[in-house]
Amino acid sequence: MRYLSLIVIVFFMWWSWSATKNPNLIPEDTHVGIQEDLKRVITEYVKDNLPNVKEVKFNKFWTQTLEENRVKAVFSYTFDDDGTDQTGATATSKSAATVGVAGYAILNHSKQENSEYDVWSLDELNVENNHIIFKDGSAVVSSPAAASDSKTSPPSSENKKEDHAE
């Protein structure tokens, strides 16, 4: 029984070692190239659509192999918007802010016979999270008339005390 246990343990050690040391389906150079190209595409898109953006900073960016010819690229980036419109004048409804975007892209390998480059097509782009941090806070003021017209106003501190007293 000891020998059988030893053989089983050695087999599982060999299996786990070979599973972790499998050769990559997609070489590391390909992952690096995809990351650089996708960063360039995102940066150009943001700068083309928001001309006042000076710098796009990528906080996180990595790729992972899903299948032999399919890669998922996960990203998180921020950029500063100075709050001016395209003519350079400060818009009344805009203020300077830092905008953050997070998401992922799915790329599939395209087999092109005459191309000297490895071609990957961007088939899916998902933005999962975005946030805005304003440089100068904005005051949100409600008028007293609007508050009295509201049927669902939050309870005041006096109402809370009365509810607990009963």
Listed by start position, the domains of the chain span: 22-137
Provide mean pLDDT across the span 59-83. 90
- CA 70 vs CA 30, 35, 97: distances in Å: 12, 14, 36
Provide mean pLDDT across the span 134-153. 68
pLDDT of residue 36 exceeding 80: yes
| pLDDT in the model for residue 133 | 86
pLDDT of residue 1 exceeding 60: yes
Report the alpha-carbon distance of residue 59 to residue 67 in Å, rounded: 26
* Alpha carbon 164 to its chain's center: 45
| pLDDT in the model for residue 147 | 54
